[in-house]
Structure 1
Amino acid sequence: MTVIARPEVTPAARWAFPQPTTSSLSNGLTVHTFDLPGQYVVALRLIVPLSVRSEPRESEGVASLMTRLLDEGTLEHDTEEFTELLERKGVAFGAGLSDGGLHVDVDAPASRLADALALMVAAIARPSFPAEQVRRLVRTRLAEIEQERASAPHRAARELAATFFHPDERAARPTAGSAETVSGLTREDVESFHATHVGPAGATLIVSGDLSGIDLDTLLAESFGSWTPGPRALPPEAEVPRRADDAVRIVLVDRPDSVQSEIVVAGPGPDRHVKPAWAPYPVLGFVMGGSPNARVDAVLREEKGYTYGMRSGFRPRRAGGMFVTSGSVRTEVTADALTILLEILASGDAGFTAKELADGVDFIVDTAPGRFATADAVAEEAAASILDGLPLDFTTTNLDRMRTLTTADLEAAYARYVTGEWTIVIVGDASAYADAIRALGQRVDVVPN
C-alpha cells in the first residue's frame, strides 16, 4: 500500500494591501492607479472633500440631495439619455456622502473604461440638476423620513444622534436633512452648492482593475482633464463633535404595542488616527460583539434566547467616533436584556483572554486577502483611507500592528474609551418596561415615536 506523506501546514505568508501608482492632472486632481491583472471589471472611485458642516443651517440636506442628483442628467444628456447610456455601456453608477466627503462610484468592463470615465466626469463636473428631478427627490426624501420613523433601527439611530451629540453640532441632525430643511430646497440651492463646493482641486480619483493594454493617461486627459477648476470653498477642518451635556441617560422612544425593542448603547470612541494604534479596536469589536461566539451573543442569543443577534463595534468618524452596541430583543425581556448587556460591556474591565485575542486577530488578519481580492474591494478600501485622511498603506500597517497585539493592549484600549458613561436609546413599548428601566438608577426620559 502506498503511503502518502501528510503535507506540512505552515502559517500563511504575510499579506500586504496593493499599492498604487500615483499621478496628478494639471487641474489638481490626484489619481491613484491599482493595476490588478485578471480584474476585468474596473472600479472607479472619485472622492471630493466635502463636509455637511458647510451647508447653511436652513438648507441642511442640500449636499445629500445634490449627490443623489448627479446621475439625473448632465449638460450633454437629459435624464433619460444618461440612464440609457449607463445601461448600454454596462456602467454601474452610484454616489454617496459620508463624514469625510462626497464619493462617486463607477464600475465598468475594462473595454468600456473610456465611456465610463466620460460619463463619470460629465456627472460630477457638468450636472444639469433638472428642476423636475429636484422636486421628485425632495418628495422622495420626505417620504424617506417617514419610513425612517417607522423603522425601529432607523428611529433609534436618529434619536441616538440627537441625544449623544451637542445640539449645536451638525452630527446631531440627519445627514440628509430634516423635513423642515429639505422641503424648501430648490434647483438653485443645489446648483449653487455644487458650484461652490465641488471641483477637481484636492479631489482624488482611484482606478482599480486590469489595465493591461489601456492608455490610461490619454483616457484621463480626455475625460477628467476637461474638469475645469473654479472658485471653491474648502470644507472646514475635521474636528471631534462635542458630546451633549446630558448625553449620559436613557431615552425610551415609545412605540405602543411593539413586540420588539430596539436597544442601542453608545459611548465615545476613537477615529482611525488614534495613538498608539487603531489595531486593537476592530479586535475588541469582534471579541465583544462581532460574531455569534462573541461575549454579547454568547449570552443574550445563545444562552438566554432574547435576540436573533446583537452587534458591537467601534465606529470611527473622520475625527472622533463611537462605540456602539445594538440589536432587538423581545419586549417582555427588555429590562433584563439591558441589564445583562451592560454587565457584559463592563466585563471588559476584567480583561481579555489569550484565546479571544487570537480569535479576533486571526479572523481579521487571515480573511484580509479574501476581503480585498476584487478590484472594487481594493478601490473601496483605498477610498475609505482617503476619506479618513489616512495614507494608502494604512491597511497593511494596521494588520501588521494587529499581529503584535497583546491582551494588555486590548485592556488599555478598552479602558481608554469604555467608561460606562452610556447614551442608551430603546425604541419599543415603553409602558411594558419603563418602571423596570428606571429601577436601574439612571435618568430616563420617554419621548413619542
Structure 2
Amino acid sequence: MKKWLLLPLVISLWSCESTQTQSASTAKNALTGVSFVEQVPSQPGKTVIPYQKYVLDNGLTLILHQDSSDPLVHVDVTYHVGSAREELGKSGFAHFFEHMMFQGSEHVADDEHFKIITESGGTLNGTTNSDRTNYFQTVPANQLEKVLWLEADRMGFLLDAVTQEKFEIQRETVKNERGQSYDNQPYGLLRERVAEAMYPPGHPYSWQTIGYIEDLNRVNVNDLKAFFLRWYGPNNATLTIGGDIDVAETLALVKKYFASIPSGPAVHAPEKPSFSLVADRYISMEDNVHLPLVYMSYPTVSIRHQDEAPLDILSSILGAGKTSILYKNLVKNQLAVQASVSHPCAELACTFNLFALPHPAAGKNLADIEAVIRASLREFEQRGVEDDDLIKAKAQMEASFVFGLQSVAGKVSQLAANETFTGNPNYIAKDITRYAEVTKADVMRVYKKYLKGKHAVIMSIVPKGQLALAAAPDNFTVPARVIPESKPTSAADLNIRKAVDSFDRSVMPKAGPNKAVTVPSMWRETLSNGMKILATESHETPTTSMLLKIPAGHYYQTQDKAGTAALLAAMLNESTQKRSGEDMSKALQKLGASVSISAGNQYLSVNINALTKHLDATLALVYEKLTAPAFLATEFERNKNNAIQAAINAKKDASYLAASAYRQLLHRDNIAAMPSSGTAATLANIELADVQAFYQQQFKPKNSQVIVVSDLGRAQVLAALAPFKAMTGAGKALTLNLPDAKTQTGVIYLVNKEQAAQSAIRIGKRSLTQDITGEYYRAYLMNFPLGGAFNSRINLNLREDKGYTYGARSYFHGDKFSGAFTASAQVRADVTAQAIVEFVNEIKRYAEQGISDQELRFMRNAINQKDALKYETPRRKLGFLAQILEHDLSADFVKKRSDIVANISKAEINALAKKHLVLNDMFIVVVGDAKTLKPQLQALGYEVIDHEL
C-alpha cells in the first residue's frame, strides 16, 4: 500500500522558520530576473510545510524552505521528464541520462560530482520513474553554494562533456543495472510483462523506466543529447532548497548560477491516453524461481483523481497486513506463503494489483489461487466497509505523514513533487482533505466501478518446465513493437543552448567554516530489573521512536536449529494470550503505530514508532506482545513453513547464494556460518517447544537495552516504560567461540547458477572484530579510498571505467565476536574473469603503493564533515545511541574519532593496507553459470573448487 499523506494535526514547523522572516520579506523584490510568487507560512492547527516560491525569467521554479534545527541543507532538482516522455524505440533515455548527469560537465571534471559532494561530508543520488527525474544532495549548510554550482553546471553546461566514451561506459552500466534488478532477479520481469500486456502499443507506460536492451543498443550519443535538449531546460525544472538557509543569500546564489541558463522548448502537461480491457488477458512466463506467482492487475484512474483515495483504502481492506481479507483467505490458512494488494498511481494511470505465492504444501495451482482471490472480492462486496477500515487507514495516513517530516529531505521531496505535478507546493492540504473525506459509500462505489465484473491482466510466473501450474493458458500475445524508422541524430541536428556569464564558472566555490554541530544530549537510566535505557529529546515532530534490544539473537541458538530466534521473532508478531494476531494488528493500526520484531546475531530487536499522543497505548500493546505470546501451534506451523519456503526460494538469488557460500567459508562449523533466518534443513528441525524454551531461557530484561528518541522528557519517558519493570530475570550468558575456519586461500569457490545473466563475486578473509576507536575503525579509514566511497578506486575501475557492474565496493564488517574484509560486486557474466583481475589488481596496488596525498585529504574531509548529517532524524539518533550503549562509550568518542581522522598518518594507513590486504590470505567466491565460467576462471591460474550449498 502506498505511503499516504494525512489528517489535520498540529506540527511545530513554524518555530524554525520565523527567525528569518524579515530576510525573506526583503528578498522578495531584491533581485531582477527573479519573481516572487507566494509565501506560505506555518498555520496553527493545520499541516503545512512553510515555503517561499519564486520563478526565474528562464522559467526555473524555486522553492525555499527554512529549517534551522540542524546545520544542513537538502537540494533537489526535479525535471518533469521520465520514461513516459520517451519515444517508441528509444526507451530507457530518461534513466540513461540520470547516469550521464553524474559524469562531469563543462566545468566539473569526470567523476568529480560524487567526489566533491562526498568530500564535503554530504550524500547524493538521483532517481528516475515514469514521470520525473530528480537529483538531490544533503550537505552541511556551509556547502550550499558548491551544490548550486554543481547542479547549475550540469543543467546548463553538460553536453560538451558528454563524450562517446562516457556514453558507451554508462550504456554498459545501465545494462548491468537491468541485469541485476530485472533479468537476474527472481520475478524480476513481472512488471515489464504486465505493462506490455496492460497498455496499448506505444503507450508511455507500456515499457519500464530501465528500457529495453535493444533500444539502448540502437541509439547514439547525439540521440541522447537531443533528449537532454528537449527536456532538461530550466523551464521544465523545479529547484527546491530546504534547511538552514538565509533566503536573501540563497536567492542571490540561485540567480548567479541559474539565471543565465537559456530556457528549453516549451513543455506542456502530458496527455493521458485512454484505454480499456475488453476481456481478461492471461499471460505467463517460466522463470528460475521456486514458487509460482499469480498477479492480477486492473486499470483504474490516475494520480490525484477523485477516486484514487477510496481505491487506496480499498487496497488496504483487501490486502494490507493481518487484518486484510486476502491474508485471512490465503496466508493464515496456508494456501499461500504471501499475498497482498496495492494501488500504485502515476501521472497518467494507476493499477489495482493483487498477487499471491501459493504454498507448495497446499497442493494448489495458480488457477486455484486466482479463484480464491476472486472469491475474496465477492466476500468484500458482501462484507462491506467497516468503521474500523476507515479509522485504521486514516490513522496510518496521519502517522505516515508525520514520520515523513522528520528529515529536511522528506519535506523538500514533498514540496518538489507537489510543485512538479500540481504547480502547488502546498497541495498537501488538498491531499489531506481528499483522504479525510473518503466514506464507506466511496469505497464500495470504486469497487463496483473498477473491479466488479471488470477485466484484468493475469500474469503467471512458474518454475521452469512447469507451465501447467499457470492460472490459465495464455490468451493474449503482446503485439510486436513496431519501431518507426528514423535516421540517427547527428551533431548538426542539435540546437545547443549556451549561457553567457560575467563570472568564471570554472572556479569551484569555497565553503565557509562548518557550522557547529551539537551532539545529542542524552540521559541514562538502569531499571531495577537490569534494563539499560539511553535516551535523547527531539522536538521536531510529535513522535517517539524506540529500539528495544534483548540478548536473544542468532548466536544464542544451536547450529542444527538455526532460525529459532527468527521464528521466535515471528511468533511475537502473532497472537497473544489476550487477543488474536489480527486484533493486535488492528489495535496498532488504529493508533498509527508500527512495531517490528526481528532477530540479529546478538539481539532480538523490537523497533517501535509511535505518535507521542498514543505512546502509552502503543507500549501497552508492545508489552502484551512481548510478555504474553500465545504460541499457538497453528501459527507456529504457518511461520515455520513460510520460513522454509523463503529459504528455498532465496537460493534462486545470486546475491543470497554468494553471501551464504562466503559466510560458510569464513566460519565453517559454527553458528556464524549459518544464516540467522535458518536454512530449510535447520528450520525443519525446529519444534514449537524449541521456540518456547528459547523464549523462556533468553527473553529476559537483564542486560537488555532500550534506546529512545522522543519529544518527551526523562520523567515522561520513564513513566511510559514503567510497565516493563515487571519483567524479571536474566538470560543465559553468551559463550561463543568462532575459530578461524582454515579455508583454503588463493583459490576460487564456484557456486553454480545456470544461465545467470550476471555473476556475484566476493573476495575476502577473516579480519578484525568491531571496535569504535581502535584498529577496526582505522582500517575503515584505510579502506575508504579503496572501496568505501562511490569514487573509490574499485568502483571507478569496475563501474565507471570498464562498465562491468552497477556497483563495486570493499569494506570491513564485524561484531564483537568476528570480522571480515570483503570486496564484492555483481558483474556481467561475460566479464567475470576480467572483473576478478581488476579487483585483484586494485587491492594489490593499494597494498603495495598505499594511499595518495589527495586520497588522504579526501578521506579526512569526507568523514569529518559528515557530522551535520549524523544526528538529524530519530532513526539516525537511535543508531548513534545504540552504538554508545552497546560499546559502553562516553559521548566524547565522537571527538576521539574526529581526532583519529585528522591525525592518522599516511604511513599508518599504508601499514594497515600492507597488513590487512594480503591477497594470499584471501579466497574468492563466484556465483554464476559454472559450465561457462569454470574454464575462464581456471585460465586465470586459480584452482577452481565447486562449492555446494
> If the length of structure 2 is used for normalisation, what is the TM-score?
0.44
Give yes or no for the alignment of 1:259 onto 2:757.
yes
Q: Distance in 1 between matches of 2:853 and 2:613?
A: 50
Q: Distance in 2 between matches of 1:386 and 1:273?
A: 13
The structure 2 residue matched to 1:67, chosen from 569, 581, 588, is 569
Q: Distance in 1 between matches of 2:741 and 2:519?
A: 35
Shift of residue 15 of structure 1? 3.6
| Structure 1 residues 392 and 170, CA gap change in structure 2 (3 angstroms) | farther
The structure 2 residue matched to 1:45, chosen from 544, 547, 551, is 547
Give yes or no for the alignment of 1:398 onto 2:897.
yes
| Structure 1 residues 16 and 434, CA gap change in structure 2 (3 angstroms) | farther
Say which SS state the counterpart of residue 50 (structure 1) adopts.
Answer: coil
Partner of 1:415: 914
The structure 1 residue matched to 2:933, chosen from 428, 433, 438, is 433
Q: Distance in 2 between matches of 1:16 and 1:412?
A: 34
Q: Distance in 2 between matches of 1:428 and 1:198?
A: 41
Partner of 2:579: 77
Shift of residue 388 of structure 1? 5.5
Q: Distance in 1 between matches of 2:941 and 2:890?
A: 45
Shift of residue 256 of structure 1? 2.4
Say which SS state the counterpart of residue 279 (structure 1) adopts.
Answer: helix
| Structure 1 residues 9 and 294, CA gap change in structure 2 (3 angstroms) | closer
Q: Distance in 1 between matches of 2:932 and 2:564?
A: 40
Contact 2:740 2:766 in 1 (8 A): no
Contact 1:163 1:247 in 2 (8 A): no
Say which SS state the counterpart of residue 46 (structure 1) adopts.
Answer: strand
Question: Highest CA radius of gyration, 1 or 2?
Answer: 2
Contact 2:648 2:680 in 1 (8 A): no
In structure 1, give the amino acid aligned to 2:910. E
Shift of residue 280 of structure 1? 2.5
Q: Distance in 1 between matches of 2:860 and 2:598?
A: 31
Give yes or no for the alignment of 1:172 onto 2:673.
yes
Q: Distance in 2 between matches of 1:339 and 1:183?
A: 41
Partner of 1:87: 589
Say which SS state the counterpart of residue 72 (structure 1) adopts.
Answer: coil
Of 364-373 and 82-91, the range deviating more from structure 2? 364-373
Partner of 1:374: 873
| Structure 1 residues 433 and 245, CA gap change in structure 2 (3 angstroms) | closer
Matches within 5 A, 1:43-442: 43-165=545-667, 167-212=668-713, 215-221=716-722, 223-227=723-727, 229-230=728-729, 232-236=731-735, 239-273=737-771, 276-349=774-847, 350-387=849-886, 393-420=892-919, 421-442=921-942
Say which SS state the counterpart of residue 721 (structure 2) adopts.
Answer: helix
Q: Distance in 1 between matches of 2:745 and 2:666?
A: 5
Of 395-404 and 330-339, the range deviating more from structure 2? 395-404
Of 268-277 and 386-395, the range deviating more from structure 2? 386-395
Q: Distance in 2 between matches of 1:172 and 1:58?
A: 11
| Structure 1 residues 305 and 180, CA gap change in structure 2 (3 angstroms) | same
Q: Deviations over 1:205-257 (max 9, x none)?
A: 11112115972222222x21222x136312225x5542334255311112222
Contact 2:764 2:821 in 1 (8 A): yes
Q: Deviations over 1:115-153 (max 9, x none)?
A: 222222222222222222211111121111122210000
Q: Distance in 2 between matches of 1:83 and 1:44?
A: 18
Shift of residue 273 of structure 1? 2.2
Contact 1:45 1:380 in 2 (8 A): no
| Structure 1 residues 67 and 398, CA gap change in structure 2 (3 angstroms) | farther
Q: Distance in 2 between matches of 1:263 and 1:395?
A: 35
In structure 1, give the amino acid aligned to 2:747. R
Contact 1:16 1:396 in 2 (8 A): no
Q: Deviations over 1:54-87 (max 9, x none)?
A: 3234322111110122221222322111111111
Say which SS state the counterpart of residue 427 (structure 1) adopts.
Answer: strand
Q: Distance in 1 between matches of 2:857 and 2:628?
A: 51
Say which SS state the counterpart of residue 252 (structure 1) adopts.
Answer: strand
Q: Distance in 2 between matches of 1:358 and 1:94?
A: 41
In structure 1, give the amino acid aligned to 2:560. E
Shift of residue 354 of structure 1? 2.2
In structure 2, give the amino acid aligned to 1:208. V
In structure 2, give the amino acid aligned to 1:426. V
| Structure 1 residues 381 and 347, CA gap change in structure 2 (3 angstroms) | same
Q: Deviations over 1:298-326 (max 9, x none)?
A: 11111111111112111122223111111
| Structure 1 residues 408 and 11, CA gap change in structure 2 (3 angstroms) | farther
**Percent of aligned pairs with the same residue?**
24
Q: Deviations over 1:265-318 (max 9, x none)?
A: 112232232774443333334311233321012111111111111121111222
| Structure 1 residues 99 and 285, CA gap change in structure 2 (3 angstroms) | farther
Q: Distance in 2 between matches of 1:417 and 1:31?
A: 37
CA RMSD, aligned part only?
2.7
Q: Distance in 2 between matches of 1:24 and 1:181?
A: 37
In structure 2, give the amino acid aligned to 1:300. L
Shift of residue 27 of structure 1? 1.4
In structure 1, give the amino acid aligned to 2:675. P
Say which SS state the counterpart of residue 804 (structure 2) adopts.
Answer: coil
Q: Distance in 2 between matches of 1:16 and 1:414?
A: 34
Say which SS state the counterpart of residue 323 (structure 1) adopts.
Answer: strand
Shift of residue 447 of structure 1? 3.4
Contact 1:267 1:418 in 2 (8 A): no
Shift of residue 438 of structure 1? 1.8
Residue segments in structure 1 that go unaligned for 5+ positions in a row: none
Shift of residue 408 of structure 1? 2.1
Contact 1:318 1:389 in 2 (8 A): no
Contact 1:206 1:379 in 2 (8 A): yes
In structure 1, give the amino acid aligned to 2:681. E
| Structure 1 residues 257 and 245, CA gap change in structure 2 (3 angstroms) | closer
Q: Deviations over 1:382-410 (max 9, x none)?
A: 22454456556544532342232222232
Contact 2:543 2:610 in 1 (8 A): yes
> If the length of structure 1 is used for normalisation, what is the TM-score?
0.91
Q: How many residues align?
A: 444
Partner of 2:413: none
Shift of residue 91 of structure 1? 1.2
Say which SS state the counterpart of residue 215 (structure 1) adopts.
Answer: helix
Contact 1:240 1:319 in 2 (8 A): yes
Say which SS state the counterpart of residue 314 (structure 1) adopts.
Answer: strand
| Structure 1 residues 388 and 244, CA gap change in structure 2 (3 angstroms) | farther
Q: Distance in 2 between matches of 1:383 and 1:280?
A: 21
Say which SS state the counterpart of residue 206 (structure 1) adopts.
Answer: strand
Of 422-431 and 16-25, the range deviating more from structure 2? 16-25
In structure 2, give the amino acid aligned to 1:343. N
In structure 2, give the amino acid aligned to 1:199. K
Q: Deviations over 1:311-367 (max 9, x none)?
A: 211112222311111111111111111011111011222110122122223223322
In structure 2, give the amino acid aligned to 1:124. L
